[in-house]
Structure 1
């Protein structure tokens, strides 16, 4: 049974269930017809016995009454007998009254007056009533018939069931099979479409049935799953491509430095210089890998903690404090101009990463002995954080490219900046997580202002 397909299991279950239902239905129909027919016979006997009783009471002597109700009621066979209530001696009866209909004296003693009772004996159904005959003595009137009508009706029903049930069962099985195979047809189509999807092309989707039923819901969920898998696969592929591309240069530099150092004996300072260069490149590799891993994660992987309410001024202040040492190295003064302070439901650690990346870029691309102005103010249902530097600026046709991976506005300063070219890509991702926006205003040799626009109301 465990090796059968679901369709075959359903077919077997359907056959068993239909067979049991038909058996139960047939039994219920048989018993229902038996009870109905028996009630009908008893009702006829009740009418006849009351009529016989009335006819007997119309005569002064019981023997004067002719027991011919079988002719009147056209009930064949019909047996009538009148007995004394005390000695149970037969007073009168129809000529055809069967000898095998017996009476139990103890049972007859328990009969109540004017109450009709019924008793089944062998193949007979006997009705009795005890009455008082003209205040002289009590008599018992018996009216009986055979159960041939009942037996004949039930036999006819059995013949019909023997003939009809197999036909019904066959058609039920065929109909059940058709319904099961028809129901599984969309699933088989889904499986066939899924077999065509592979790692080389995850863009294909299963065609929706547009029926808004369970199959359509399943297709939508599978397509949603495929979309998430494709997105994850693309991130992994992009990470591999970006990592292999970006790590070649520092690894080549490290290899070159080590090979040069090993060609001949050198003094300590030269070895230190080689080690320092290698260490700088290793740190660059480490930072690049960390940034790539961050960008490769989806939102659920990044959002480890729950969103909580934080005061924005605290987040901005902490971000500035963490980059102050870098600003001192470049003789840059950071000025905070905070007009409003509000509580903001956010991921504080991510907002800090975004602000620090913007501040680091502002420091690295500012002229020495200049300043950076950080402003914060509420604008309706948004809070705007702007970072303004007075540095080299960005060409207008290159401003939208700064969010691309590994893009640097000043190629000549790549080595001196210490950046990986991934900072603004990370900023964009964090802002998208918070349903915000970024604006850039920049002029060459004047400076750049980057503004984060964060929605206070989700």
Structure 2
């Protein structure tokens, strides 16, 4: 499903649900108000049907009924009048009872025992009325809601002294006109609302998809050969600016990775070219020479060893880049390992002055081969580039949950722009520092990757231009 279609469908469903909810709540409120008004009208009509005060004749009840009929509307005229006022279509939708137990009751419609209906009702409320007629003092109007012949009815009972009037009306009959009016309105409102909903949903979907289309067109301009293009952020909403920032940041990292891979490939080809050229020259010389004993095997072995070392470092760096550097963890005594490497350094140079402070019992879990290569790379750099007569400082101690090894040595001044590149692969510094010193420029970068593979890090600490301080942190894994 297209994103535009999904937004369009969600908008239509939302508007439809809101419209249905509004209509439902409005109809419920209208019906509540209508029933309240109906109760008031019923009570008013019940009050009107109470006859004027007359003295009852206990010897002639029929005369009392005739008197009741004469003092108010009677017969068909009474039902017609109530039908008009209560907005019903037929007298059969009304129940009426007026009179008293002494005088008798005038009831309608025929065939319905209205008094029995009254006796079975549960009255909901009683509203006292203030009447001017003394005979009707203490009048009370009560309301009831009941079911009769599968229809819902609303009733009002007014009692004043010994007189009472009862009126009930079919609710559906009184609200039929309101229902018809609502249906007629909905016939017009619903299609018009749906049309507006469709137009509104289409407008929302179009405006929502427009910035995405702009981003899509901008992304199409980014190719493998041109990673420098960035998405514009102006005139975009805040949410899309966040997306654009994330995308541009990803492009920055991707461009840096491509640039680093290109530089790494060129540097690797350059570094491998030298030993391969030497090997080829030596072998061609041996082939062309009549005396094979003149073959310089030591030089060939040196170049093969150099080539093998570069290849192994490149392989380890490739594994580090892909996060697949294989580590064989075992307990390692860093104290003994550092002491052993320092002893090798002192054998190689009698002029080297060492200031060593190594704590005892520094144990971690790690790969012995890789950690030995890490420390060896650091110490080889010290041997190659330090000023031996000024001394080298090596401190190793436990720092909370990690082992810290700090190696500091004096050297020729190194400017800041060179220091920031010391961990770059194949970077060997300025020619003045590396003249006559062999190396591939992979030692420090490989050492840092090994440290990070163990959960630690190798950093260059801030110092004077004539001092290089390396700080190695290795976590203690229990």
> Scaled by the length of structure 2, what TM-score is found?
0.66
**1:234 and 2:259 aligned:** yes
Post-superposition shift, 1:387? 1.9
Q: Check the 8 A contact 2:47/2:165 in 1, yes or no.
A: no
1:171-190 paired onto structure 2 within 5 Å: 171-190=196-215
Q: Distance in 2 between matches of 1:44 and 1:178?
A: 49
1:413 alignment counterpart: 436
Deviations 1:17-68, CA, capped at 9 Å, x for gaps = 4334433433443344234323321231023324534x46665345434224
**Residues 1:25 and 2:35 are matched in the alignment:** no
Q: Aligned partners of 1:90, 1:163: CA distance in 2, in Å? A: 53
CA contact (8 A) 1:117 1:127 kept: yes
CA distance 1:40–1:287, change in 2 (3 Å): same
Q: Displacement, 1:244?
A: 0.9
Q: Is the 8 A contact 1:81 1:141 kept in 2?
A: yes
State the number of aligned residues: 412
Counterpart contact for 1:82–1:141, Cα < 8 Å: yes
Matched, 1:110 2:120: yes
Match of 1:143 among 167, 175, 182: 167
Equivalences for residues 125-136 of structure 1 within 5 A:
127=155, 129=157, 134=162
1:355 offset after TM fit, Å? Answer: 6.2
Residues 337-348 of structure 1 mapped to structure 2, 5 A cutoff: 337-338=355-356
Answer yes or no: is the 8 Å Cα contact 1:428–1:438 preserved in 2. no
- Residue ranges of structure 1 left out of the alignment (5+ in a row): 442-448
Match of 2:97 among 65, 69, 81: 81
Alpha-carbon contact 1:303-1:347 (below 8 Å) kept:
no
SS in 2 for 1:413: coil
Task: From the superposition, tell whether residues 131 and 432 of structure 1 become closer, same or farther in structure 2 (CA, over 3 Å).
Answer: closer
Task: Describe the shift of the 1:410–1:318 C-alpha distance in structure 2 as closer, same or farther (beyond 3 A).
Answer: same
Where in structure 2 are there 5+ consecutive unaligned residues? 57-63, 124-139, 397-403, 474-478
Asked if 1:363 is matched to 2:386, the reply is no
Does structure 1 residue 287 correspond to structure 2 residue 309? Answer: yes
Cα separation, partners in 2 of 1:324 and 1:148, compared to 1, 3 Å? same
Query: How do residues 291-310 of structure 1 correspond to structure 2 at under 5 angstroms?
Result: 291-292=313-314
Contact 1:334 1:374 in 2 (8 A): yes
1:64 is aligned to: 67
Residue 341 of structure 1 deviates from its aligned partner by 7.6
Aligned to 1:445: none
Alpha-carbon deviation of 1:16?
Answer: 3.4
CA distance in structure 2 between the aligned counterparts of 1:375 and 1:28, rounded to whole angstroms? 83
**TM-score, structure 1 as length reference:** 0.68
